[in-house]
Amino acid sequence: MIRHMVMVKLKPGTSQEAQSLFDRFGAMVGSFDGLLSFSGGAYSSPEGINRGYNYGFSMDFRDATARDRYLPSPEHVAIAQDIGPLLDGDFDSCVVAFDYAC
């Protein structure tokens, strides 16, 4: 299994838009072959070490092949395009992705 984690810095006042994007990701579970689960939301830890990343999500894929098929998929590309205007800066300073095998 591959866990795909993403943390983003979104502009203030974009919580409804963020939830809409998360709903779209969640709707892919069961319809995109190999996508096993999705979970995401706003930062909520009292630790305060989020470095400005205020939303995050994780997706579990059956294997690297499923993840690799997802990355260029029209569904992923569309959501990535829609999140762009919500970022609180440029892509390189507002998005971190980290995958690992479970």
**pLDDT 10s digits, 51-93:** 999 999 999 999 999 999 999 999 999 999 999 999 999 999 9
Q: What secondary structure does DSSP assign to 14-44, as a single string?
A: -HHHHHHHHHHHHHHTTTSTTEEEEEEEE--
pLDDT in tens, 19-43: 999 999 999 999 999 999 999 999 9
- Tell me the whole-structure pTM to 2 decimals: 0.94
Provide the CATH topology of domain 2-101. Answer: Alpha-Beta Plaits (3.30.70)
For residue 47, the model assigns a pLDDT of: 96
Q: Map out the domains of the chain as residue ranges.
A: 2-101
